[in-house]
Amino acid sequence: MAVGDVTMPLMHVVQGVKIGSTEAYVRYPNRRDLVIFELAEGSNVAGVFTQNAFCAAPVHVSKAHLAQANPRYLVINTGNANAGTGPTGLKNAQDTCAKLAMLTGVNSSEVLPFSTGVIGEQLPMERLLVGLQPALNSLQESAWADAASGIMTTDTVPKGASEQFELNGITYTMTGISKGAGMIRPNMATMLSFVATDAPISRDLVQSLLKTTVEHSFNRITIDGDTSTNDSCIFVATGQAGGREITSNNDVRYAKVLDVLARVMNRLAQLIVRDGEGATKFITVAVEGGADTQECCDIAYSIAHSPLVKTALFASDPNWGRILAAIGYAGVKDLDVSKIQVWLDDVQICKDGGAAEDYTEEAGARVMEQTEITIRVDLGRGQSKDTVYTCDLSYDYVKINADYRS
């Protein structure tokens, strides 16, 4: 059961984007599992991908195709990751692109493939290829919600975000979807995200905007510390709503676009944490007072990854010594623990490296019983800060992953 507000908003249409989906029976019957995005000619597209060395076949193909041309089509299947599948898996990803290209009259390099699901099994190519035409037949502008459902694996809810904004009297839209619930760790993970705007943005700036916003959204979430083979995040600017192209971050319109994209990316990333496998609590780990951003992140991730911290959160047990231990083994050099302060929401649990004098077990337990909790740490050694989002670790996480392939 997802934590907090995970409501799918009104998904505003992005001019220049059409989406279709179908039931191709990639793994399970009676569910959407094949999604196609059609992008208007002239759209500028950027992508960031997993840093896992064992990255999946579609990641290899998408990166290669993105380097050659601006894509016209994205094709996504769920139920099968096409990872750990060797030369056959690579050919299957390429054949998927070739078939869709043939059906639509574009070059194969103008198609990007994406897969998510079970690792180590070959795609059921006959069913997948047969499903392409029905998905194309269903293309429409208003199918964002259907697409959000069609890319889910162990997700319990579809995930979407959408905003409209104005630049020089023209109304633009920023809409996106994401999927992911497990095998989620910084540097991207088992997550897919597709965000599009109809604002006119140059290709170089599209890539820069994506990298900037991913760093503080999808690269600041963790569920279980595992980095997947398939994660991909795509940002599309169709330019179909008109206006002069934004080509520089010195353009006065750039800041507005960055602000809107950052909010959409943050919402999509946090929805993944809220829907973490078996999650019952949404946790913000905020570290401030660091000498630099890296050490703030190192400590935040150390806390967020700790199985002992995460199980204590699930049990509503204010065993705050586990938080101190995670801070201590994060590997930050020359850390002066006598300067460290730690809070659970508004309750200070650690003052100057020791137990806060006015701390009580009852106050700590009150915070730990909440479904949304902030762990705040002040290192007392600088001005840098950063934030990571995570969830607790429950019995259901083990059950979901133990039964995943059945």
Q: What pTM, to 2 d.p., does this model score?
A: 0.92
38 assigned to a ligand binding site: no
- Give the total number of structural domains in the chain: 2
277 assigned to a ligand binding site: yes
pLDDT in tens, 366-393: 999 999 999 999 999 999 999 999 999 8
Residues 200 and 287 in one domain: no
190 assigned to a ligand binding site: yes
Q: Could you give the residue ranges of the DSSP H alpha helices within 34-124?
A: 57-68, 86-104
**What pLDDT score does 191 carry?**
81
Domain holding 314, by residue range, is 282-402
Q: Work out the pLDDT band at 24, boundaries 50, 70, 90.
A: very high
pLDDT in tens, 134-182: 999 999 999 999 999 999 988 889 999 999 999 999 999 999 999 986 5
Is 27 within a domain?
yes
DSSP codes of every residue in 155-185:
-SS-EEEEEEEEETTEEEEEEEEEE-SSS--
Where among 256, 274, 292 does a domain terminate? 274
Strand partners, 322: none
Burial of 208 (C-beta count, 10 Å sphere; 0-12/13-18/19+)? middle
> Would residue 267 be called left, alpha or beta, if left means φ above 0 and alpha means ψ between -120 and 50 degrees?
alpha
Residues 204 and 269 in one domain: yes
Residues 184 and 302 in one domain: no
Helix 321-328 vs helix 307-314: angle between axes, to the nearest 10 degrees? 160
At residue 345, does pLDDT exceed 60?
A: yes
Please check whether residue 304 is in contact with residue 314, taking contact to mean a CB–CB distance below 8 angstroms. no
Residues 266 and 313 in one domain: no
Residues 171 and 220 in one domain: yes
Is 6 within a domain?
no
Please check whether residue 176 is in contact with residue 147, taking contact to mean a CB–CB distance below 8 angstroms. no
**What pLDDT score does 227 carry?**
58
pLDDT in tens, 236-245: 999 999 999 9
Region 3-32 average pLDDT? 95
Residues 259 and 327 in one domain: no
Q: Catalytic residues, which ones?
A: 190
- The tokens 């919600």 sit on which residue? 145
**What pLDDT score does 50 carry?**
82
222 assigned to a ligand binding site: no
DSSP codes of every residue in 281-344:
-EEEEEEEEESSHHHHHHHHHHHHH-HHHHHHHHTT---THHHHHHHHTS--TT--GGG-EEEE
Strand partners, 282: 372, 391
**What pLDDT score does 54 carry?**
79
At residue 83, does pLDDT exceed 70?
A: yes
What integer best gives the mean pLDDT of the chain?
92
361 assigned to a ligand binding site: no
Give the closest residue to 287 by CA, choosing from 333, 338, 340, 224: 340
Residues 244 and 299 in one domain: no
Q: What CATH number does the domain containing 79 carry?
A: 3.60.70.12
Residues 26 and 106 in one domain: yes
How far from chain centre, in Å, is Cα 289?
A: 27
Is 11 within a domain?
no
Structure tokens at 153: 């694996």
Cα 157-159-162 angle, rounded to 5 deg: 145
C-alpha distances (whole Å) from 7 to each of 157, 175, 191, 211 are: 9, 15, 19, 27
Please check whether residue 311 is in contact with residue 305, taking contact to mean a CB–CB distance below 8 angstroms. no
